[in-house]
Chain A
Amino acid sequence: MDTIACTAGSELPGTPIDPAEYGPRTVATGPYYRRDWFEWEVEAIFRREWLQVAHVSEVQNPGDFVVREVDCCKVSALIVKGKDGVIRAFHNVCTHRGTLLVSDRPAGNAPVFTCRYHGWSFERDGSLRAAPDFDTFGLAKADCALKPIALDVCGGLIYINLDPQPRQSLAEFLGPAWDLLPYHAAATATGFSEYVYEIEGNWKLVYDNFQETYHLRFIHPRSIGTSTSPAGNFFGYADTFATFGPHRTMLLPVNPEFEPAPTAARGFGKVIQSAMERGTELGPWNRYYFCMFPDNYLLLSQANPFVHSIMPISETRTRGTVRLYWNGEDASASERFAREFAMAATRDIHSEDVSVIEACQKGILSRAIDRVHFQQHELFCHYLYDQARLRVQDWLSQQGMADAADAALEFGR
């Protein structure tokens, strides 16, 4: 793989954006803390868009399953590989009286799923296998299968969509990223490292932190504050910005003068060398950072190829899950060391952001200010704000409440 068909005349997926032209923006704070707005976002976005929730390596064999909670929708999803090799998702809910079907473990392997309440059992393809004294219900088994959830896979990443009839296929939703995700290490990974955090912050406020570089010098002075800012670009602004549909991408700069600490040089050097030896060829996509709507980021990098997922819990609480995907098992002690280091170093950078995000949420909750300002290089923040706003307004219109959003979007409220 050396080239990918892409937008004509450009290496970028999507449409390049000139930050100066897109401009600075000031927006109302309501969508960052209001409960009514959050509940509309859940309906308009998280119950309707494709969400990245799992990886194919978690369900390798028939009967392998994972349970994934979509907290804001109060949905428990059971993702399972059938004996036909097909990965499917279902609501993790017994069709008898609604009991959670798998509640004792988040993952495992099962030949059949049996409800502990009255013993209804379901095949790995979701069909009802048997129910005690079933004749007394006067029902047909075929009408009692687990409720399916739309599922599709791109580049090894498993997505679900809670809309019973998704408006778009995953390929339509991802657009040009459908062809680029197979370049991420997740596409060929046999395993991953993972760390998880929960944070007092609205999901967009959390998301925004990780889609602008303006803060790097201040919050990451020793980790990436200088390694990503070459001479003449003090704030490490991206060289290129582009959007496609609701998604964004930027080309992260590097500082060629930066000298990593000894163990960093060894650790990152080894993972990059291993990736190259294993044929993980990123070509022009190395250092592309994808900010995917609504819930994740992907870094196409040989050093720390991560997928960072953001899942709202409430209007002011969010869970983040970061996974670094590895192509092939650890081949040697040196590679094992390098992967542990790459994971720990990436975690160090992400953890530096937690307290400042929570401080930002507290300040907004105080209602001392009714608006926030984005400079031109923070353009992805107001792009996300707009993508969420458009979906909420569209959904409210469909519900006959077109004006309901106004209060949250106006200054002085």
Chain B
Amino acid sequence: MSAVSASDSALPRDFASLEPWVAAGWAGQTAHDRSLLRVDRSPEEVAAFHAAVAPLLDPALAYLDLFPVDRLPPAEERLMRLMLTFAHVALAVEMQGPDEVLQRVATRHMRITRAVADRPPA
């Protein structure tokens, strides 16, 4: 694998501030990948990701809603996957809080084998 180039992590202009997170691997390809980011990365990194994305969640989804969800251009598709990772991270930060230390072990027992977001377009 070659190093990630800048264009591989490019996001739509209004969300360019989140590009370092894409470069750091936070736009997980599958729901299972996205669920692992929450438990594989350090608690500090998870908290920082949450803090960076939370204020942009609503604007990002409002922006993405302008596109057909199954035919997103590459940058928009990356932004979508970044927001989907946020769904998992939000549970760690907003709901579990101090108990996330337990969930880092517990959620590994439950492998996500299928998600509607991962289906190829019909």
Binding site for B on A (CB under 8 A): 191-199, 221-223, 261-264, 266-267, 322, 326, 329-337, 339-341, 343-345, 347-348, 350-352, 354-355
Cβ contacts B88-114/A at 8 Å (1 or 0 each): 101100111101001101110111111
- Determine whether the beta carbon of A193 is less than 8 Å from that of B116: yes
**B64 close to A (CB within 8 Å):** yes
Cβ contacts B60-85/A at 8 Å (1 or 0 each): 01101101011010000000100110
Contact A333 to B96, CB < 8 A, known contacts A192-B114, A263-B57: no
Bound form: Cα–Cα A61–B52 in Å: 44
A16 to chain B, nearest CB (A): 34
Among A340, A350, A354, the residue within 8 A (CB) of B117 is A340
Residues on the A chain within 8 Å of B70, using CB? 329-330
Bound form: Cα–Cα A355–B97 in Å: 19
A–B Cβ pairs within 8 angstroms, 28 of them: A191-B119, A193-B116, A194-B113, A196-B110, A221-B99, A223-B95, A261-B95, A262-B90, A263-B54, A263-B90, A263-B91, A322-B110, A331-B69, A334-B65, A335-B69, A336-B69, A339-B116, A341-B87, A341-B90, A341-B91, A343-B31, A343-B112, A344-B35, A345-B95, A347-B112, A348-B107, A351-B107, A354-B106
- Determine whether the beta carbon of B69 is less than 8 Å from that of A352: no
Residues on the B chain within 8 Å of A348, using CB? 91, 95-96, 103, 107
Closest to A347 in B: B110
Binding site for A on B (CB under 8 A): 31, 34-35, 54, 57-58, 61-62, 64-65, 67, 69-70, 72, 80, 83-84, 86-88, 90-91, 94-97, 99, 102-103, 105-107, 109-117, 119, 122
A-B contacts besides A222-B95, A337-B87, A351-B109, 10 pairs, CB < 8 Å: A196-B113, A197-B110, A264-B95, A333-B61, A334-B61, A340-B88, A340-B115, A341-B90, A343-B112, A345-B91
Closest to B85 in A: A340
Residues on the A chain within 8 Å of B99, using CB? 221-222
- Determine whether the beta carbon of A340 is less than 8 Å from that of B31: yes
- Determine whether the beta carbon of B94 is less than 8 Å from that of A339: no
Closest to A265 in B: B94
- Determine whether the beta carbon of B114 is less than 8 Å from that of A262: no
- Determine whether the beta carbon of A263 is less than 8 Å from that of B87: yes
- Determine whether the beta carbon of A197 is less than 8 Å from that of B109: yes
Residues on the B chain within 8 Å of A264, using CB? 90, 94-95
Residues on the A chain within 8 Å of B61, using CB? 333-334, 337
- Determine whether the beta carbon of B114 is less than 8 Å from that of A194: yes
Contact A195 to B110, CB < 8 A, known contacts A326-B116, A336-B117, A337-B83: yes
- Determine whether the beta carbon of A191 is less than 8 Å from that of B116: yes
Closest to B80 in A: A333
A59 to chain B, nearest CB (A): 15
Residues on the A chain within 8 Å of B72, using CB? 333
Residues on the A chain within 8 Å of B95, using CB? 222-223, 261, 264, 345, 348
Lowest 10 A-B CB distances belong to which pairs? Answer: A333-B64, A263-B90, A261-B94, A341-B87, A194-B114, A351-B106, A340-B87, A351-B107, A193-B115, A354-B109
A199 to chain B, nearest CB (A): 7
Residues on the A chain within 8 Å of B83, using CB? 333, 337
Closest to A338 in B: B87
Residues on the A chain within 8 Å of B107, using CB? 347-348, 351
A171 to chain B, nearest CB (A): 29
Bound form: Cα–Cα A322–B109 in Å: 13
Residues on the A chain within 8 Å of B80, using CB? 333, 336
